[in-house]
Structure 1
Amino acid sequence: MNFIRKHVFCKHFTKQVVLSGNQTMSTDNKAISFDSINDKSLFPDLPNGPLDRYRKNAKFDWRKLALTLDDERCLRFRNNVWKYLEDNHLFARSHEEQTLDEYREITVRRINQIVEKEFVSLADFILEPEITFTFVSSLIAYDPSPTIKASLSSKMFPGVLRTMGTERLVKYAEAAEDGFITGCFALTEVSHGSNALGMRTTATYDVKNRQFIINTPDFEAAKCWIGNLGKTATHAIVYAQLYTPDGQHHGLNGFMVPIRDPKTLEPFAGIIVGDLGEKIGLNGVDNGFVLFNNYRIPKEFLLSRTGDISDDGQYISPIKNNKKRIGASFGALSGGRVNICGISNTYLIKAISIAVRYSASRTQFKDDDTDADELPILEYQSQQYRLLPHLSTAIVQKVFTMWFACTFNEFSKSFFTGEIVPYVGNEIHALSTASKPVCTWAVRDAIQDCREATGGHGYLKVAGLGDLRNDNDPNCTYEGENNVLLQQASNWLLSCRKQKNGYASFAETSPLKSAQFLSSFDKIIKQKCNWTTSQAALNPENILTALNWLVAWLLENTYQYSLELQKSGLSTFNVRNNIQVFNAQTLSIVYGQRAILSVFWEFVSKLDNSPERAVLERIASMYGANLLLRHIGLFYEGGYITSSHPVQLLKTGVIELLPQLKDDAIPLVDVIAPNDFILNSPLGMSDGEVYKHLQSILWQTSSTFERPKWWKLVTHWKNTENRSKL
């Protein structure tokens, strides 16, 4: 298998799509008929209601677009998963409040039910990334807690054991995959998170007993925020500072550490393990902390892929540099950031579906010059500009996250086949550290706008937007706090720039093409904005040209500024510290945004001309134009734009695009939205009957019409004399 040939798109992304007549899609030159469009099990009829006016005026077939964005097999698989959840009483929806313990219990019950069903096998997980991606996103859309909790134990924990361990730990990986033990990942400490080198938990090797002694010097060194550890984990991958008997320090290393007895869930002697309690969101996942009191584990429990201990206590590693060894150890963790991009976009899809459908159903005010009825608030330009860029982001990031998942899957398989291509791992690390902040912050901002765009009704818990906002919040922090992650992306870009052949090095160091364009730096940096019409300003090719220039300009500015600081005598640390604001961080963000749009546009450009491709082009234009407007000051500062005219063309283009996307908005939501059971919001149901669903929930909630138990607190102070005056 040639990785470079296959990495660009997995099977779904290499297909050629034709959306006319009966031959409408081909994969590997095999035609796939769109007869399935009329298959009601795949595309049930949409209900009649207030949304009809938008669906009837759609300029494309939403079912064809659905089959463009997702493989038919994946769509059927997703529908089957959702039907299983809807038909199973254990997954029944309830708007009654649950205690923390009740929620955690039902989460574990749901995990057991899903595992027993075995939708996806381990072979599927490795060989069918699209199915796996669809499975995870389908479950996340229902409730993220069971999926995240199960993934930590049955995917991430054994995945790290297999990648960074040796055959001696395979049986534990298999036990976690089969559900016999519950795994977790323990890196962060109470007083250290991003600074992995500063971790203070130690592992000292005892030659006589062939054991490691794990110790926590104080509470500040306690491992914390460990998903699954609060109540349920039996085993953890613990990162600790390794010391050999001669007192030599060999850096941070990973160890598999038994925490609780799998039969009783009682912690082993020498361990203090506890629960961090209720969080803002994701409360089905029990996050915990652990302290070790000279706790002993066998020598074989060291994750020894990058470093091992000989029987006489000598540390052996093919990688001599501690930082590089730790980097190799953490390299396998990029998958977590890749997954978070997809998880957060699932939240965005739900939020924007709720907000757009609500906006098409909610009427307010009317044209005073006509006798027409009140207008849906989606007809107002301000509402369109609040929501339609976020709708575009949801679709662009949907394509990107699928591509990234497939790309990372191919990279992971190369570890086992030995077909590792140089530089791919470094680029995946850089791209994941840029795209995770870009994606999760985009979702954070979008959900807040959706909440505000749905007014007071959106503030109700039953609307679902508050839970989406809270569940997305940790995405901005775990697997690397976003601001810290951005430094790693810029470090990679700067390190490539510093190579002997300068920008030409990007032709080799960027095999995934996220930064390969920089090899043409000399040509790019001389370019100027040449838009003469609003249509040209919104052309995705022109937008990418502008973003190419901006990444190049930011990189060179950041590089030159770092040289100035270095010449002034600052240390390497202080140089990196002082280039962040306005330089390195912005560079990483724009690099990530540009990569996301580039992947989406490459996908769209492979489609044949059709109404479905046309709407995706409008999506690309809206997403890209919004990026340019956000960075417009930088284009002026760098001289790419030298007058106000191009900016006016860009704004005019956006204003012209809004009503077009407004007409597309409801069918676009129909393409990406989960079904009503999964969406679970009275504001976003597919029939648009907001008020009927809202009333139904209020009437069915037991506390709606009940007198409170504390009613006497309201009346006891009112004496008989005062009552008689009423």
Structure 2
Amino acid sequence: MSQQSPNSNTPKSYRTLTDPIYTRKDIFPDLHLLDGPLKPYRYSSSFDWRSMKLLVDSAAAWDAKFKVWNFMEGHPLFQKSHQTLPLDEQRRLANQRAFVIANENFYAFDDLLLDPKVDTALKSFEPSMMGKFKIPYDMFPFVLRTLGNDRIEHLITACNDMKIIGCFALTEVAHGSNTQAMKTTATYDPASKSFVLNTPNFEAAKCWIGNLGKTATHAIVYAQLYTPDGQCHGLNTFVVPVRDPKTLLVYPGIVIGDMGEKVSLNGLDNGFMLFSNYKIPKDYLLSKTGDVDDAGNFITQYKDPKKRMGTSFAALSGGRVEFCEVATSYGVMAVTIAVRYSASRKQFGPENSNIEYPVLEYQSQQYRVIPHLATVYALKFFSNWISSAYFDMLKTSFAGQKVSSETGMEIHAISSSGKPVCGWMARDMIQDCREACGGHGYLKCAQLGDIRNNNDPNLTYEGENNVLIQQASNFLLAVRSKGWNEFAKASPLGTAAFLRDGDEILRMKWKWNDVGCAMDPENLLTTFNWICAYLLEKTFNRVKTLQQSGQSNFDVRNNSQTFHANTLAVAYGQRQVIVAFLAAIRKLTPENPAECAVLTKLLSLFGANLISTKYINVLYEGGFADSNGPNVNDLLQTGILGLLVDLKNDAVSLVDAIAPPDFILNSPLGMSDGNVYRHLEAVLYQTPDTFTRAAWWKDCVYKDYLGSKL
């Protein structure tokens, strides 16, 4: 048992670490000196959590995040409450905090890769505040620069000076994903040299616009552009003044309403908007992809309208990449709480004994939380990889160099799969962690409910997951239609390059007869290569069959999703998670043998559990596994159970290496000292009204009187 008292003041796993970053006690506190139920687990760890921390993220990344966290912890405006504030107070507080963050200029980094780390640090505190800051002072001016020209430079300056507040108006009440069917119009009027915006009906009202409900003064509006000849030139982007910046009163010709209270993110005021013959200057068309001359002629360098629209939406595509890291951060918080609580909470023990064991010692609890611990590590390395790939592409573009169309398409495809995969995995792990913490996990102060709700919109915005993920399967099917060899050219980032050997992969069979070989990460990746190739060929043949039956392109696409294209796209994203995790392990130096060993176990657990729970039937259906051969599921399940035992004593140190500080976690169940009941007592005793009589106590006592009055 790991619960034997430690015999020394320093865990055996600790090494002498010379890098100056390790002297930072905010980043690397002396957790082994904390007394409490977590101490025996920390002393039983096989690796040094401090070294692991710098393998998960760079020193610069941790420095950037702690710079934000330390600032907020020391500022009175950012002190946390366990109570739900009134809606208007949540919004006021989020707005105040956003202004403070904007003034601190945390985004003044030379390395673009640090930006998502700062974003994650801010969102882990409170995502509404992050939206109030990022939408108007980061995303809004970025799109103005990307899609506009010097005609709107004064608006960029005003935004940088925080004199205007921006937002984005794309989605309409009746249309979100189907942008081509949006009905808001912008018609050019040569006489006044202006565009006239109109909303034909409520179904065409722009909605879910973050910052618009109460505060935005300007909106980037996506509308169908009409020239005087009556021709529609598709969806174009306009910057539209919507409120007086000095009074926040709505301009005549516009109706703005508030979307009301939501499941979460209530500090962010989402709104809806309708236009009635509302005029804006001609110069307010963001003209990078298309312009209108004074006479009303539409001018564009793009012959293909789809490519022009793709360029317009590309400015927003980084959101999908960012949400991979955001969803992962929510998973980190949930898993940290569940593991620390499981190591602290004691229940039951041997018969005829007064000893109680931590629930982490029980196999059922281990299987509830440790696979999610493996998942969150896998997602950490994947989100690091996809952020690096995306920002490398941005740097190339900013340097004036051409980004290959293949790279752009592949980033689009893998982010369209990665964002749903990360969001769904985070959703499942958060819910399981909530349940693993029992009744105490249901308390609001436990934070698991808020974490779950904060992750929930990740599944919808920046592309509803089930619609967005189709972009990944479309990419794979389009390349497959040209032949397996085309994947070598179409996948410069390597997410699908392995499929150039598709025919050879499909001939492979399961050949491992013992648990060790079955759990080897290289063999698990080989298995996943086959899964992706098989699902692609299965979907490709399904599409061909539907086409040969005479179905339209629309029906073919519609009738090839469930059990085919959707499953393929998910597997494609999951495989890349494994690839990114394995690549990170391969880069480890000989100085990290213990960390390498435990990361390899985590990868084995992640991959084996994924195959066992999601794809075991596929292996037999496609002939990769043979019913007359080894029982693949028995091998995997035996390996999984063995890894649960191996990783149990490392679980606390594994969350120590990725957890945010206690101030951010703000959960009595997940504090770093593990003293759950002491922290829970403090929260309950310090909460207003804990010991007061209800103001409506008479309704309980004088029930007959109350009934006679009803």
Whether the TM-score (by the shorter chain) exceeds 0.5 is yes
- In the TM superposition, residue 563 of structure 1 has moved relative to its aligned partner by 1.1
Secondary structure of 2:219's aligned partner: strand
Identical-pair percentage: 51
Structure 1 CA distance, aligned partners of 2:217 and 2:203? 23
Q: Is the 8 A contact 1:136 1:147 kept in 2?
A: yes
Deviation at 1:442, TM superposition (A): 0.5
1:602 aligns with: 583
- Determine the structure 1 residue equivalent to 2:374: 392
Aligned length: 685
Which residue of the partner structure matches residue 379 of structure 1?
361
CA contact (8 A) 1:554 1:583 kept: yes
Q: Provide the residue aligned with 2:45 in structure 1.
A: 58
Q: Does 1:696 align with 2:682?
A: yes
CA–CA distance in 2 between the matches of 1:325 and 1:539? 46
Aligned in 2, Cα 1:167/1:636: closer, same or farther, shift over 3 Å?
A: farther
**1:102 pairs with 2:89:** yes
Match of 1:84 in 2: 71
The 2-side partners of 1:21 and 1:713 are apart by: 64
The runs of 5 or more residues in structure 1 that have no matched partner are 1-18, 25-32, 720-726
Using the alignment, how far apart are the partners of 1:330 and 1:94 within structure 2? Answer: 38
Q: How far is 1:481 from its partner?
A: 0.6
Question: What aligned pairs does 1:180-199 form with structure 2 within 5 A after superposition?
Answer: 180-199=163-182
* Deviation beyond 6 Å, 4+ runs, structure 1: 19-22
Q: Select 1:266's aligned residue among 249, 255, 278.
A: 249
- Counterpart Cα distance in 2 of 1:603 and 1:230: 44
CA contact (8 A) 1:337 1:433 kept: yes
For residues 414 and 154 of structure 2, the distance between their equivalents in structure 1, rounded to whole angstroms, comes to: 33
Task: Give the alignment partner of residue 268 of structure 2, picking from 263, 285, 289.
Answer: 285
Amino acid of the structure 1 residue aligned with 2:557: R
State how far apart, in whole Å, the 1-side matches of 2:255 and 2:540 are.
Answer: 47
Structure 2 Cα separation of the partners of residues 308 and 667 of structure 1:
57
- Determine if the alignment matches structure 1 residue 670 to structure 2 residue 656: yes
What's 2:9 paired with? none
Alignment of 1:223-262 (within 5 A): 223-262=206-245
Of the three residues 622, 636, 641, the one matched with 1:650 is 636
Superposition deviation, residue 176 in structure 1: 2.5
Post-superposition shift, 1:136?
1.3
- Whether the 8 Å contact between 1:181 and 1:235 is mirrored in structure 2 is yes
State whether structure 2 residue 554 is matched by structure 1 residue 554.
no
Residue pair 1:356, 1:666 contacting (<8 A) in 2 also: yes
Deviates more, 1:699-708 or 1:516-525: 516-525
Q: Deviations over 1:388-408 (max 9, x none)?
A: 111111111112112222222
Decide whether the 8 Å contact of 1:133 with 1:402 is kept in 2: no
Per-residue CA deviation, residues 545-595 of structure 1 (Å, 9 max, x unaligned), is 111111111111111111111111111111000000000000000001111
Alpha-carbon offset, residue 655 of structure 1: 0.7
Deviations 1:522-553 (A, max 9, x none): 22111111112211111111111111111111
Alignment-derived partner of residue 309 in structure 2: 326
Which of 1, 21, 25 is the equivalent residue of 1:40?
Answer: 25
Q: Which of 611, 616, 630 does residue 632 from structure 1 map onto?
A: 616
Is 1:538–2:519 an aligned residue pair? yes
Compute the displacement of 1:20 (Å).
Answer: 11
- Which one of 575, 588, 593 corresponds to residue 556 of structure 2? 575
Q: After TM superposition, give the deviation of residue 718 of structure 1 in Å.
A: 5.8
Partners of 1:572 and 1:63 lie apart in 2 by: 54
Of 321-330 and 620-629, more deviation after overlay is shown by: 321-330
Q: Distance in 2 between matches of 1:301 and 1:251?
A: 17
How far is the alpha carbon of 1:37 from its aligned partner?
3.0
Amino acid in structure 2 at the alignment position of 1:120: Y
Give the alignment partner of residue 154 of structure 2, picking from 171, 178, 187.
Answer: 171
**Post-superposition offset of 1:38:** 4.7
What is the CA distance between 1:449 and its match in structure 2? Answer: 0.3
Contact 1:331 1:425 in 2 (8 A): no
- Distance, in Å, in 1 between the alignment partners of 2:102 and 2:398 is 26
Alignment-mate amino acid for residue 28 of structure 2:
F
- Give 2:386's aligned amino acid: F
Give the Cα separation in 2 of the matches to 1:696 and 1:21. 36
Residues 1:424 and 2:407 are matched in the alignment: yes
1:587 aligns with 2:568: yes
Question: For each residue in 1:89-142, what CA deviation from the matched residue of structure 2 results, as whole angstroms up to 9, or x when unmatched?
Answer: 111122233100001101111111111222222xx2xx4133222211111111
Q: Which moved more, 1:468-477 or 1:156-165?
A: 156-165
Superposed displacement of residue 328, structure 1? 2.3
Contact 1:348 1:447 survives alignment (8 Å):
yes
Cα deviation, residue 74, structure 1: 2.4
Q: Which amino acid aligns with 1:162?
A: R
For 1:564 and 1:611, the matched residues in 2 are separated by 52
Residue of structure 1 in register with 2:203 after alignment: 220
Q: Identify the range of structure 1 (510-519 vs 70-79) with the bigger mean alpha-carbon deviation.
A: 70-79
Q: Give distance in 1, aligned partners of 2:544 and 2:704.
A: 77
Q: TM-score, normalised by structure 2?
A: 0.94
**Contact 2:397–2:403 (CA under 8 A) maintained in structure 1:** no
RMSD after superposition:
1.6
Asked whether the 8 Å contact 2:338–2:670 carries over to 1, the reply is yes
Alignment of 1:346-365 (within 5 A): 346-365=329-348
Contact residue 113 and residue 391 of structure 2 kept, 8 A: no
| Of 441-450 and 69-78, the range deviating more from structure 2 | 69-78
Helix, strand or coil at the partner of 1:387: helix
Query: Does the 8 A contact of 2:173 with 2:206 survive in 1?
Result: yes
Alignment of 1:673-688 (within 5 A): 673-688=659-674
The whole-number CA distance in structure 1 between the counterparts of 2:403 and 2:149 is: 22
CA contact (8 A) 2:15 2:48 kept: no
**Mapping 1:16-35, distance limit 5 Å:** 33-34=18-19
Any idea what the Cα deviations from partners look like across 1:124-168, whole Å, max 9, x if unmatched?
A: 2xx413322221111111111111221111222122222222232
1: CA distance between counterparts of 2:198 and 2:396?
36
Give the whole-Å Cα distance in 1 for the aligned partners of 2:75 and 2:23: 27
Q: Alignment partner for residue 119 of structure 1, among 74, 96, 106?
A: 106
SS at match of 1:631: helix
- How far residue 195 of structure 1 moved from its aligned partner, in angstroms, is 0.6
Shifted more, 253-262 versus 160-169: the winner is 160-169
Q: Which runs of 5+ in 2 are unaligned?
A: 1-12, 706-710
Aligned-partner Cα distance in 2 for 1:178–1:585? 45
Which residue identity does 2:623 align to in structure 1? G
Picking from 109, 123, 131, the partner of 2:114 is 131
Give 1:421 shift.
Answer: 2.6
Q: Deviations over 1:433-453 (max 9, x none)?
A: 101110001011111101110
Contact preservation (8 Å) 2:519, 2:608: yes
> Are 1:202 and 1:215, in contact at CA under 8 Å, matched by a contact in 2?
yes
1:411, 1:420 within 8 Å by CA — same for their partners in 2? no
Deviates more, 1:627-636 or 1:321-330: 321-330
Q: TM-score, normalised by structure 1?
A: 0.92
